[in-house]
Amino acid sequence: MTIAPLRLRLDGTALADNWRTLDRLSGAAACGAAVKADGYGLGAAAVAARLARAGCRDFFVATWAEAEALAPLGCTVSVLHGVRAEDMAVAPGIARPVLSTPAQIARWREAGRGPCDVMVDTGMNRLGVSVQAVGEGLLDGLQVETLMSHLACADEETAMNARQRDAFAGLARKTGARRMSLANSAGIALGADYAFDLTRPGLALYGGRQRAGHDAIRQVVIPEAQVLQRRTVPAGQTVGYNATWTAPADSEVAILNIGYADGYFRGFSDHGAARAGDVRLPVIGRVSMDLLAVLVDAAPDVAEGDWLALDYDLPAAAVASGMSQYELITSLGTRFDRVWSG
């Protein structure tokens, strides 16, 4: 078995504790989990198994291929992108579709396929049928398990959040749906009025923090990369593409086996950092496709073959790189070994 020169240290205990925190913040509502995009890049099957052991019972993916990957776990799965004609052959028994267009609703109804979920657009203008169409009977004859909508600006202080909540609340008892679901990770922190019957956190499960209510959320993933070479860069010489960093004095530099092809983006150039224990090692020069340079003057014992951790607390890493927390976690590439503890 080949051992990769870069790995993700994944804290299963932190993941489960994050879900428990969000479950507690959800009050009387059940707390589900978005595990789309392969569990936000961490591995959907491994994530879902740990969350199921913690007590999660509702999982959300984007596509039917993602639902098939979770089938061996026996989880209750909803497919957020609905059901195309091409999906009808695999849809029964694997998961429920989240129907979001009149055509999808007609397709599901005519096929007599049983329970489904439905997405209503309350102002995001992305996926979903209109509130008006629902009020006019679009869902008549459907066995709707969960009626849901999605907040556009839950991570901001804006009147749009209340408008969406109120529009969604106006559909209560008008569709026969067993449950209603609106809040994502940030929406959970907006308060009890947004929880309804089921919440659907994603980013916060994996260590993302968007609002004050997320203070207890813990970091789940730490990228680590091996040192390929340690070298002395003489004063006045430069490091990396376009010579953006110049050594102010003779400097000790380590070259790591990680780059933007692995999701460690160019935005970290001269802004990111690695760690040798508690010692911060700043990223210097441009991040390359496969390589990264860090200054190791403060770590005299770091040598070829050693492993260094990258600073990857999601809110701080987002500020350092200019990327969103979502982009940072879902872009972690396939070249990492994923090593779980807990």
327 to each of 130, 315, 333, how far by Cα in Å?
29, 12, 12
Q: How far apart are CA 81 and CA 150, in angstroms?
A: 13
Name the amino acid, one letter, at 289. Answer: M
- What structural domains does the chain harbor? 12-210 (3.20.20.10), 221-341 (2.40.37.10)
Tokens representing 273 are: 């950092």
pLDDT tens for the chain, 342 residues: list them. 789 999 999 999 999 999 999 999 999 999 999 999 999 999 999 999 999 999 999 999 999 999 999 999 999 999 999 999 999 988 778 899 999 999 999 999 998 889 999 999 999 999 999 999 999 999 998 999 999 999 999 999 999 999 999 999 999 989 999 999 999 999 999 999 999 999 999 999 999 999 998 999 999 999 999 999 999 999 999 999 999 999 999 999 999 999 999 999 999 999 999 999 999 999 999 999 999 999 999 999 999 999 999 999 999 999 999 999 999 999 999 999 999 999
Closest by Cα among 223, 235, 224 to 314: 223
Note whether 44 and 35 are within 8 A (CB).
yes
Dist CA 336 CA 329 (whole Å): 13
41 CB-near residues (< 8 Å, 6+ apart): 263, 329, 330, 331, 332
DSSP H or E segment with residue 15:
helix 12-25
Q: In this structure, which amino acid lies at residue 325?
A: Q
* Distance (Å, whole) CA 147 – CA 221: 32
Residue environment code for 183-218, b if the CB has 16+ CB neighbours within 10 A, otherwise e: bbbbbbbbeeebbbbbbbbbbbbbbbbbbebbeebe
Point out the residues that are catalytic.
Answer: 36, 241
Rounded to whole angstroms, the Cα distance separating 10 from 51 reads 14
